[in-house]
């Protein structure tokens, strides 16, 4: 790792300020992606802004939604009885990210801000019609994710929390990459009174995306048969040494079926 | 006796590892130590036009920067060569310690930067400017055998072209066969991945003009030999090699690598201790890889379904340089095992070893024998399917009968003993083979395809006798040495040239001592891994530690007993011929005289009442043991799987292994070795693959992409043993370290094919990843629809 | 790996061709390009800062224009080294043709990319999507620049 | 450079280290406890697992400064060679280790696993050890060890 400076921010505005006064500062949340990258010397930030002391942890029931602080660890979400009751699928998703040690350190905000195309959380934010709360504004999920590793976040913006709408029913099905255990395909299906949202991660070249064909099929008939009736195209899907686009397309269908029937 | 041979004694070495007190190479630090970082080639194949180290040399903390031009000693050598079919010799191109003029794989070391801290060394290495003239990468065997040139003057880009067996008789058998079963298989390239990455710490002693090298080695004495005699050309006494606790080897830590040699060489230049520890990606790039064969197989059957001939034509991808035992693996460790445990009258094999611009390939757990077993058990399975016989019964029909031992195979080996049916029967019973079909139909109701796969294997352990190895091109001996020192108080120090890096030698070897001398395990201390403290040795590989090293200890113990009897005879005023030794006591037959082993030990060192005129004082004996033959463990593994056709995921639902390792010293440790071997075999069959792109970039260079078996990928295993004791060593033992990795891949692949055969699937490549399996199903369904 | 795509541009082919040979246009189009200087008629030196997720590396190298066939197309290729991260290179075979209406131009490209060293060793899952994304960005930037 | 103060196995460790110092390097090099190992660069192998304030973390993916003020427990801190921790004892009795390199991380993960789930099933153990790679044992005896360790720990 190149040498760097660490600033411990006490609140998000201090964090933003520190970013502003650095040349190429980076927010350090759980560090599960950032630290391995730094160890490989694949980035050379002059400053890391540690936001663990910004008071951004915690889970709140907001009636029709659940609001989770950006620095809430995956393990805390997985073990939260509030989340388990309100959106069990979200607790399941958090409990399946990485491994136990990653869940003990990794955070919701870090995962969402990074928007790794194979991360689990972005699919939940998208399928649960989430809102990303930053120090400046609220951003709807559909506006937040801008393609692989890209988000609507601006330089002077830090995620403070994410809200997830409570669905009638939801399920996340992940087919992990056998080596890295990231999602090779992850499908989050959420049924709301006004329709079904299906978000797919791990598969799209542009990162997480909503699958409109599956959504409309499931909105009119929430069943496995409805999924079978949808031809999942491999256009725009990733192809790598682990899985071709065709195979990913097949997995999207299969994981969706499993999510629907669970 | 509860701590002797045959007891599952808990391991003596556990306590230090469990409390974090293990001492691995990277745990050792020396005063004044500096750190080495190797600048490696990013390109697979290129001429080096220039290297500029000026800026790096001037960087903060840098002590020295060296390139290939600075190094005046030779590089790694080849430990085994074979004759070519035309009588010429194996081509052994030089392997410089740091690249000279050319790089031949991604990861080839181009320069070393030595600095006060590792971070400084890394930063400075970024300032080294290397100008490459890129040459075409050569990744696969097709390209390698089609006119590539990687080493100047090496004809046809081939290291060797070797044959074994009777080609004429084999081709005749193929011609006269009532059926010829044909199969082409690829044995996927693997990365050994011991959990401890390689490391070295080299120190030069100015006063004595000598070196100490701490290194992650399976064979410290061989490292000393190669460094002293072949690289530095100095007396061996000037180099001490210490392999302290070593975190797994699996073959990858047998050889002398450039990094440890460069650190040793440079430690004299800069007169400071130099430490180097690989990170995991460097381990992926530079630890010798394993396997990577393509085998064309033809099996001839007569009208009674008896095998009458086998021809195997093999292409082996050996990488950018010829690693120490790279030649032996696809030839004598592979070709000689092609008879398996079958009675095959005619066998012929030709093996061509090619250079590619990839990491050098050498021995990985099993080394040649997994490749032989894989192709053989796959073609046997296909033969059974083609003739419509049960896979187990087809094997039984062709097994070497138990009254045929010693059995001379058509490929040079003579199996001393064996009885293959009991292991097959037991494995079938363990997995409830006879009720499999009902399980298959139950699974199909759940939408799953269930399959069962058999693999019967044999292997050859303990590469010896030396004379034979030498005649076949081996450049090292096949013996092992041991010394047993009885201390005056009756405690025992055993030194061995074998090296334990997970095998539990301290426990197993102590059990031999306990059995023979009647002393408790706790009185036995094992010394190994330090070339200054143990006699010359050969190290640990090829499942040889017990069968060769353990027997050497047994022989040294016999000498100790023989001498002790003489001392005891003197003490008891009897004739040595009348003295008996049992359970730690010497008695004189027909009398009630007895004396304890401890008293004899004391008398040997305090020889107040001692036959000094005929016997030297002291009680310490050394033995060198060179086996008469290999040992031949054999057995049957049966895997049962369920395939989910919607995703192609293979779940291993049951595993039964029944192995014949001869006599067992510590069944608990043996079982553990089998578990680990099976896991690595499952890794090969389902998960692992070293994947190069067409430019020679290794795309699986971390655990993000190279799929290591994890706990949730594997089932628990049912493991049992049969026993036909080895006939040619004192302990009746065989080897057990590699069996699991040899037996398991074909069992698993056969099980998958068996599961999917109702769909018309008849082939499956390794690793059988979900997509590979899913595609096979899709293709079979598409064919069926046509 | 190969990536193909095409754009319909409401501009005459000569204008597009000119832009393809203008270093100002190219500099604004190459994602992350910080420096682009012509060192010979068909060769430019370049510095590009590439950010992919948490990774951020500066590549130094060259851009070459070859197979020039004015105004119908050329091959633009770039290669650079990113220090410890390794090296990357890519080329795009660009073809221009007149649209049927005679006014506009169809720009189509075929991209090949390869990476070396650490980025290949650690980032294999991202190589294809990243190459595709960068190519897309280059041409969409280019089209945007043209529209200005 | 920055001053880092934390407790390792109950003892205050106050050192001036580079701000980019990883917790694992702080433990191994600054404090000198070499039972915590490094087996990979991508946070997967788990040889470096320690407990920070009671939860297991990969010490290779955390900066020492992030552990400022924390209580760190390493393999050296859970038992002694005279009195092994029940989980260490269980690994010994069930031959749950071979080369020993992954063992410290494996034991630390197992202890946390059992602290959350008093009597885990085989599947739960296998799942719970997802973050620890062992190349020697095939996990068979590790699973047995964790089961036995759970019983000993009072599950």
- Residue written as token pair 């021809």: B311
Per-residue pLDDT at D81 exceeds 90: no
Tokens 């370290």 sit on residue: B737
Q: How many beta-carbon pairs below 8 A join chains A and C?
A: 63
Q: Cβ B695–C87 below 8 Å, yes or no?
A: no
Q: Is A247 on the interface with C (CB under 8 A)?
A: no
| Closest residue in A to D42 (Cα–Cα) | A36
CB D36 within 8 A of CB B21: no
Residue A194 pLDDT exceeds 70: yes
- Chain A residue with CA closest to C86: the answer is A42
- Residue of chain A with shortest Cα separation from B644: A254
> Mean of the per-residue pLDDT values for chain C?
91
First-to-last alpha carbon distance for chain C, in angstroms, is: 32
**Interchain CB distance below 8 Å, B126 and C86:** no
- For residues D59 and B721, the answer to whether their CB atoms sit within 8 Å is no
Inter-chain touch B703–A180, beta carbons under 8 Å: yes
Locate B120 and state its tokens.
């400084």
Provide the shortest C-alpha distance from residue B693 to chain A (in Å): 9
Q: Are residues A124 and A80 in the same domain?
A: yes
Q: Which domain holds residue C126?
A: 2-147
- Is the pTM value of this prediction over 0.90? yes
Q: Under an 8 A CB cutoff, do A31 and D56 touch?
A: no
Angle, vertex CA A187, rays to CA A184 and CA A188, nearest 5: 140
D contacts of A104 (beta carbons < 8 Å): 55-57
The whole-number average pLDDT for the span B591-607 is 95
My answer on whether A173 and A158 are in the same domain is no
Beta strands in C53-135 (DSSP E): 55-69, 73-81, 87-98, 105-116
Task: State pLDDT tens for residues D91-150.
Answer: 999 999 999 999 999 999 999 999 999 999 999 999 999 999 999 999 999 999 999 999
- Contact across the interface for A241 and B775, Cβ inside 8 Å: no
Could D63 and A6 be called an inter-chain contact, meaning their C-beta atoms sit closer than 8 Å?
yes
Region for residue B172 given its phi and psi (left: phi exceeds 0; alpha: psi -120 to 50; beta: otherwise): alpha
* Least reliable range by pLDDT among A69-73, B341-345, C21-25: C21-25
* pLDDT at B275 (0 to 100): 98
Structure tokens at B141: 């065997």
Domain boundaries, position A215: 169-261
CATH code of the domain made up of B479-625: 3.30.365.10
Query: Domain residues of chain B, as ranges?
Result: 31-135+200-276, 293-463+629-785, 479-625
* Angle between helix B420-430 and helix B391-398 axes, rounded to 10 deg: 170
pLDDT higher than threshold 90 for residue C123 = no
Residue B540 confidence (pLDDT): 87
- Percent of residues, chain A, with pLDDT higher than 70: 100
Q: Residues B708-724, buried b or exposed e (16+ Cβ, 10 A)?
A: bbbbbbbbbbebbbbbb
CB–CB of C118 and A42 under 8 A?
yes
| Cα A174 from Cα A251, distance rounded (Å) | 9
Max Cα-Cα span within chain A: 56
| A83 and A173 share one domain | no
Q: Do the chains contact at D22 and A104, CB–CB below 8 Å?
A: no
Closest CA to D127 of C89, A78, B220: A78
Whether the predicted pLDDT of C1 surpasses 70: no
The minimum CA-CA distance between D5 and chain A, rounded to whole Å, is 15
CA distance D119 to D121: 7
**Which chain A residues are Cβ-neighbours of B706 within 8 angstroms?**
179
Closest partner CB to A205 (pick from C53, C118, C129): C129
SS3 annotation, B162-176: EEEECHHHHHHHHHH
User: Which residues in chain B have Cβ-Cβ distances shorter than 8 Å to A242?
Assistant: 705, 769, 771
A25 CB within 8 Å of a chain D CB: no
pLDDT at D155 over 70: no
Contacts of A48 in chain D (CB under 8 A): 63
Write out chain C residues lying below 8 Å of A239, CB-based.
Answer: 128
Are A186 and A158 contained in the same domain? no
Strand B634-644 to B620-625 pairing = unpaired
Q: Among B139-148, B355-364, C128-137, which range has the highest average pLDDT?
A: B355-364
**pLDDT greater than 90 at residue B465:** no
CA distances from D147 to B47, B678, D118, D137, D144 (A): 56, 21, 10, 16, 5
Q: At what angle do helices B739-756 and B770-785 cross, to 10 degrees?
A: 30
Write out chain B residues lying below 8 Å of D84, CB-based: 15, 18-19
Please tell me the least confidently modeled range out of A65-74, B711-720, B731-740, C120-129: C120-129
User: B704, A179: Cβ pair inside 8 Å?
Assistant: yes
Q: Identify whether the C-beta of residue B768 lies closer than 8 Å to the C-beta of residue B670.
A: no
**In the CATH scheme, what is the homologous superfamily, with its name and number, of domain D2-77?**
Beta-grasp domain (3.10.20.30)
Average pLDDT over residues A75-83: 98
| Chain B nearest C-alpha distance from D63 (Å) | 16
Q: From CA B48, how far away is CA B60, in angstroms rounded?
A: 26
Please state the CATH superfamily assignment of the domain spanning residues D86-152 in this structure: [2Fe-2S]-binding domain (1.10.150.120)
More confident residue, C131 or D39: D39
Residues of chain C found within 8 Å of residue A206, distances taken between Cβ atoms:
129, 133
Give the pLDDT band of residue B474 (cuts 50, 70, 90): confident
Residue C128 pLDDT: 85
Q: What are the Cα distances from residue A129, in Å, to A86, A212, A252, B675?
A: 15, 14, 20, 48
Q: Residues 6 or more apart from A164 whose CB is under 8 A from it?
A: A65, A66, A67, A68, A87, A90, A124, A125, A128, A129, A130
- Positive or negative, the CA dihedral D112, B687, A40, B71 is positive
The Cα–Cα gap between B1 and B583 comes to 9
- For residue B674 the two structure tokens come to 């089998």
User: What is the pLDDT at residue B315?
Assistant: 98
DSSP per residue, A194-262: TEEEEEEESSBTTSSEE-HHHHHHHHH--SHHHHHTS----TTB---SS--HHHHHHHHHHHHHHHHH-
- B466-475, B479-488, B769-778, C103-112 — which is least confidently predicted? B466-475
Hey, is the C-beta of C84 within 8 angstroms of any chain A C-beta? yes
DSSP D64: G
- The CA dihedral of B674, B677, B679, B682, to the nearest 10 degrees, is -120
- Report the distance separating Cα B209 and Cα B211, nearest Å: 7
Residues β-bridged to residue B579: B588
Lateral strand order in the sheet of B524-527: B524-527, B492-496, B480-486, B620-625
pLDDT at A257 over 90: yes
Between CA B564 and CA D36 the distance in angstroms is 46
Mention every residue, 6+ apart, whose C-beta is less than 8 A from residue C57.
Answer: A42, A43, C49, C50, C82, C83, C85, C119
All structural domains of chain D with their residue ranges: 2-77, 86-152
Residue where the block lists tokens 């990577």: B292
Name every residue whose Cβ is closer than 8 Å to that of residue B613 and which is 6 or more positions away in sequence: none
Question: pLDDT tens digits, residue range B373-411?
Answer: 999 999 999 999 999 999 999 999 999 999 999 999 999
Q: How far apart are CA B685 and CA B745, in angstroms?
A: 5
The candidate with the shortest Cα–Cα distance to B365, out of B338, B329, B341, is B329
Residue B706 to residue A244, Cβ atoms within 8 A: no
Residue A99 exposure: Cα atoms within 13 Å on the Cβ side: 32
β-bridge partners, C73 = C69, C95
Total domains present in chain A: 3
Q: What is the DSSP letter of B11?
A: P
Shared fold status for B293-463+629-785 and B479-625 = yes
Say if residue B406 is preceded by a cis peptide, omega within 30 of 0. Answer: yes
| DSSP labels, chain A | ----EEEE-SSHHHHHHHHHHSSS-EEESS-TTHHHHHHTTS---SEEEE-TTS----EEE-SSEEEEETT-BHHHHHH-HHHHHH-HHHHHHHHTSS-HHHHHH-BHHHHHHHT-TT-SHHHHHHHTT-EEEESS-EEEHHHHB-STT-BS--TT--EEEEEEEPPSEEEEEEEE-TTT-SEEEEEEEEEETTEEEEEEESSBTTSSEE-HHHHHHHHH--SHHHHHTS----TTB---SS--HHHHHHHHHHHHHHHHH-
Are B81 and B25 in contact by the 8 Å Cβ rule? The answer is: no
Q: Which residues of D touch B22 (CB under 8 A)?
A: 35, 100-101, 103
- The minimum CA-CA distance between A119 and chain D, rounded to whole Å, is 15
B592 by Cβ neighbours in 10 Å (0-12 / 13-18 / 19+) ranks as: exposed
ipTM of model: 0.96
- Looking at chain C from residue 7 to 46, which residues have their Cβ under 8 Å from any Cβ of chain A? none
**Whether A161 and A64 share a structural domain:** yes
Bridge partners of B524, per DSSP, are: B492
Reported as a pLDDT band with limits 50, 70 and 90, residue B466 is confident
pLDDT digits (tens, 9 = 90+) for B646-703: 999 999 999 999 999 999 999 999 999 999 999 999 999 999 999 999 999 999 999 9
For domain B293-463+629-785, is the CATH number 3.30.365.10? yes
Q: What is the pLDDT of residues B14-39, one digit of tens each?
A: 999 999 999 999 999 999 999 999 99
Spatial distance between the Cα atoms of B157 and B552, rounded to a whole number of angstroms: 42
How confident is the model at residue B708, as a pLDDT?
98
* Interface residue B118 vs chain D (CB under 8 A): no
Distance CA C83, CA C117 (A): 10
Give how far D110 is from chain A: nearest CA, Å. Answer: 11
Two structure tokens written together for B574: 């009897």
Task: Among A3, A175, A244, select the one facing B647 at the smallest CB separation.
Answer: A175
CB C72 within 8 Å of CB C95: yes
**CB distance D132–B504 less than 8 Å?**
no
**Which helix (DSSP H) or strand (DSSP E) does residue B276 occupy?**
strand B274-277
* CATH class entry, domain B31-135+200-276: alpha beta
Instruction: Classify the phi-psi angles of B311: left when phi > 0, otherwise alpha if psi is within -120 to 50, otherwise beta.
Output: beta
Provide the mean pLDDT of chain B. Answer: 96
Q: Domain with C37 in it: what CATH number?
A: 3.30.530.20
Q: Long-range contacts: A12-17, Cβ < 8 Å, 24+? A: A12/A51, A12/A54, A12/A56, A12/A135, A12/A158, A12/A160, A13/A135, A14/A54, A15/A49, A15/A51, A15/A54, A15/A158, A16/A135, A16/A156, A16/A157, A16/A158
The residue among D42, D72, D135 with the most chain B CBs within 10 A of its CB, best to mutate, is: D135
Residues B680, B251: contact at Cβ < 8 Å?
A: no
CATH number at residue A160: 3.30.465.10
* Distance from the B278 Cα atom to the nearest Cα atom in chain A, whole angstroms: 13
Tell me, yes or no, whether A207 and A133 share the same domain.
no
Q: Which of A165, A180, A212 is a domain's end point?
A: A165
Parallel, antiparallel, or unpaired for β B524-527 and B579-582?
Answer: unpaired
Residues of A in contact with D44 (CB under 8 A): 99, 180
Disruptive mutation site among C80, C91, C120 for chain B (greatest number of B CBs within 10 Å)? C120
CATH number at residue A224: 3.30.390.50
Name the CA dihedral angle for B494, B495, B500, B504, rounded to a multiple of 10 degrees. Answer: 0
């Amino acid at each position: 790792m190149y040498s760097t400076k660490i600033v411990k921010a006490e609140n998000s505005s201090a964090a933003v300020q520190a970013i502003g006064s650095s040349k190429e500062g980076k927010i350090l949340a759980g560090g599960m992606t950032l630290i391995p990258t730094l160890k490989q010397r694949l980035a050379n930030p002059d400053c890391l802004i540690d936001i663990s002391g910004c008071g951004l942890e915690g889970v709140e029931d907001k009636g029709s939604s659940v609001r989770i602080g950006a620095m809430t660890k995956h393990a805390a979400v997985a073990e939260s009885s509030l989340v388990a009751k309100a959106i069990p699928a979200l607790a399941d998703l958090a409990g399946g990210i990485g491994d136990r040690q990653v869940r003990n350190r990794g955070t919701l905000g870090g995962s969402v801000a990074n928007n790794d195309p194979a991360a689990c959380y972005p699919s939940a934010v998208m399928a649960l019609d989430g809102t990303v709360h930053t120090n400046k504004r609220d951003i709807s999920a559909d506006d937040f994710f801008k393609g692989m590793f890209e988000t609507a976040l601006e330089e002077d913006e830090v995620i403070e929390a994410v809200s997830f709408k409570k669905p009638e029913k939801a399920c996340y099905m992940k087919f992990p990459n056998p080596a890295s255990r990231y999602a090779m395909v992850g499908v989050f299906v959420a049924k709301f009174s006004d329709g079904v949202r299906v978000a797919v991660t791990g598969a799209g070249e542009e990162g997480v995306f909503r699958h409109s064909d599956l959504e409309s099929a499931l909105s009119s008939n929430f069943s496995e048969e409805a999924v079978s009736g949808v031809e999942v195209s491999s256009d725009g899907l990733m192809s790598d040494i682990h899985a071709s686009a065709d195979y990913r397309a097949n997995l999207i269908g299969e994981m969706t079926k499993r999510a629907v029937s669970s | 006796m509860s701590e002797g041979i045959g007891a599952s004694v808990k391991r003596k070495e556990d306590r230090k590892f469990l409390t974090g007190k293990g001492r691995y190479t990277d745990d050792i630090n020396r005063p004044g130590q500096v750190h080495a970082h190797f600048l490696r080639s990013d390109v697979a194949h290129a001429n080096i036009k220039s290297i500029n180290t000026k800026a790096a040399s001037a960087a903060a903390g840098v002590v020295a920067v060296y390139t290939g031009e600075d190094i005046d000693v030779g590089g790694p050598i080849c430990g085994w060569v074979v004759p070519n079919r035309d009588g010429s010799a194996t081509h052994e191109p030089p392997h410089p310690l740091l690249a000279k003029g050319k790089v031949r794989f991604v990861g080839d070391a181009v320069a070393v930067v030595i600095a006060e801290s590792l971070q400084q060394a890394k930063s400075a290495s970024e300032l080294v400017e290397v100008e490459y003239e890129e040459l075409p990468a050569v990744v696969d065997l097709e390209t390698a055998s089609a006119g590539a040139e990687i080493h100047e003057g090496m004809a046809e880009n081939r290291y060797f072209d070797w044959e074994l067996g009777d080609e004429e008789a084999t081709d005749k058998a193929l011609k006269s066969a009532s059926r010829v079963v044909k199969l082409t298989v690829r044995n996927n390239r693997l990365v050994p991945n011991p959990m401890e990455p390689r490391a070295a710490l080299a120190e030069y002693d100015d006063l004595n003009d000598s070196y100490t090298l701490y290194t992650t080695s399976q064979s410290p004495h061989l490292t000393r030999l190669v460094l002293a005699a072949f690289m530095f050309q100095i007396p061996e006494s000037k180099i001490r090699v210490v392999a302290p606790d070593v975190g797994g080897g699996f073959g990858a830590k047998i050889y002398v690598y450039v990094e440890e040699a460069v650190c040793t060489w440079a430690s004299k230049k800069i007169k400071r201790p130099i430490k180097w520890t690989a990170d995991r990606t460097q381990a992926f790039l530079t630890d010798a890889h394993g396997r990577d064969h393509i085998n064309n197989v033809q099996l001839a059957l007569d009208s009674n379904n008896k095998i009458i001939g086998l021809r195997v034509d093999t292409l082996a991808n050996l990488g950018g340089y010829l690693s120490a035992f790279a030649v032996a693996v696809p030839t004598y460790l592979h070709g000689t095992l092609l008879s398996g445990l079958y009675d095959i009258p005619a066998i012929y094999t030709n093996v061509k070893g090619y250079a590619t611009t990839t990491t050098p390939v050498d021995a990985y757990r099993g080394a040649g024998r997994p490749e032989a077993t894989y192709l053989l058990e796959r073609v046997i399975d296909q033969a059974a399917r083609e003739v419509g016989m049960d896979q187990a019964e087809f094997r039984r029909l062709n097994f070497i009968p138990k009254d045929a031992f010693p059995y001379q195979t058509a490929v040079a080996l003579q199996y001393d003993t064996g009885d293959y049916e009991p292991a097959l029967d037991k494995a079938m019973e363990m997995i409830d083979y006879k009720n499999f079909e009902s399980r298959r139909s139950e699974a199909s109701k759940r939408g799953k395809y269930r399959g069962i796969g058999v693999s019967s294997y044999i292997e050859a352990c303990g590469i010896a006798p030396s004379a034979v190895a030498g005649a076949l091109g081996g450049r090292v001996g096949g013996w092992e040495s041991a010394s047993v020192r009885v201390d005056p108080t009756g405690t025992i120090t055993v030194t061995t040239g074998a090296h334990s890096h997970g095998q539990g030698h301290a426990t197993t070897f102590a059990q031999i001592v306990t059995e023979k001398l009647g002393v408790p395990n706790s009185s036995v201390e094992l010394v190994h891994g330090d070339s200054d403290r143990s006699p010359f040795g050969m190290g640990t590989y090829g499942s040889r530690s017990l069968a060769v090293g353990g027997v050497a200890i047994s022989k040294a113990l016999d000498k100790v007993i023989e001498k002790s009897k003489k001392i005891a005879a003197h003490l008891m005023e009897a004739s040595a011929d009348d003295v008996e030794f049992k359970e730690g006591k010497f008695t004189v037959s027909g009398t009630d005289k007895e004396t304890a082993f401890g008293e004899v030990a004391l008398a040997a060192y305090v020889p107040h009442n001692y036959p000094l005129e005929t016997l030297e004082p002291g009680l310490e004996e050394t033995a060198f043991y060179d086996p008469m033959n290999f040992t031949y463990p054999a057995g049957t593994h049966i895997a049962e799987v369920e395939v989910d056709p919607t995703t192609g995921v293979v779940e291993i639902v049951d595993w039964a292994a029944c192995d014949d390792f001869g006599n067992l010293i510590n069944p608990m440790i043996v079982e553990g070795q089998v578990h680990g071997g099976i896991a690595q075999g499952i890794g090969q069959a389902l998960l692992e693959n070293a994947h190069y792109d067409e430019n020679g970039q290794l795309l699986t260079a971390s655990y993000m992409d190279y799929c290591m078996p994890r706990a949730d990928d594997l089932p628990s295993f049912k493991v049992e043993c049969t026993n036909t004791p080895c006939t040619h060593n004192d302990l009746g033992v065989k080897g057990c370290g590699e069996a699991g990795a040899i037996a398991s891949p074909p069992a698993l692949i056969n099980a998958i094919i068996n599961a999917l055969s109702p769909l018309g699937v008849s082939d499956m490549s390794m690793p059988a990843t979900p997509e590979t399996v899913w595609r096979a199903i899709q293709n079979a369904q598409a064919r069926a629809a046509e | 790996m190969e990536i193909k795509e095409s754009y319909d541009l409401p501009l005459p082919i000569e204008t597009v061709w000119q832009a393809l040979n203008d270093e100002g246009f190219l500099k604004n189009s190459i994602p992350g390009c910080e420096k682009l200087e012509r060192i010979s008629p068909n060769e430019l030196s370049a510095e590009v800062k590439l950010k992919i997720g948490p990774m951020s590396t500066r590549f130094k190298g060259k851009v070459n224009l070859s197979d020039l066939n004015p105004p119908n197309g050329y091959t633009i290729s770039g290669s650079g080294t990113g220090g410890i991260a390794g090296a990357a290179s890519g080329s795009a075979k660009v073809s221009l043709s007149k649209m049927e209406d005679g006014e506009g131009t169809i720009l189509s490209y075929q991209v090949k990319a390869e990476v070396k060293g650490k980025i290949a060793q650690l980032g294999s899952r991202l190589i294809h999507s990243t190459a595709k994304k960068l190519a897309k960005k280059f041409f969409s930037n280019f089209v945007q620049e043209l529209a200005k | 450079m920055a001053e880092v103060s934390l407790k390792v196995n109950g003892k205050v460790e106050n050192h001036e280290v580079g701000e980019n110092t990883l917790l694992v390097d702080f433990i191994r090099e600054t404090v000198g406890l070499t039972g915590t190992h490094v087996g990979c660069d991508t946070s997967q192998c788990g040889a470096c697992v320690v407990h920070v304030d009671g939860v297991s973390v990969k010490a290779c993916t955390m900066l020492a400064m992030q552990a400022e003020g924390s209580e760190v427990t390493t393999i050296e801190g859970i038992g002694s060679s005279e009195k092994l921790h029940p989980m260490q004892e269980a690994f010994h009795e069930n031959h749950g280790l071979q080369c020993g390199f992954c063992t410290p991380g494996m034991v630390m993960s197992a202890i946390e696993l059992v602290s959350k789930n008093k009597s885990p099933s085989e599947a739960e153990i296998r799942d719970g050890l997802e973050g620890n790679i062992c190349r020697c044992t095939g996990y068979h005896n590790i699973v047995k060890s964790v089961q036995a360790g759970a019983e000993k720990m009072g599950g």
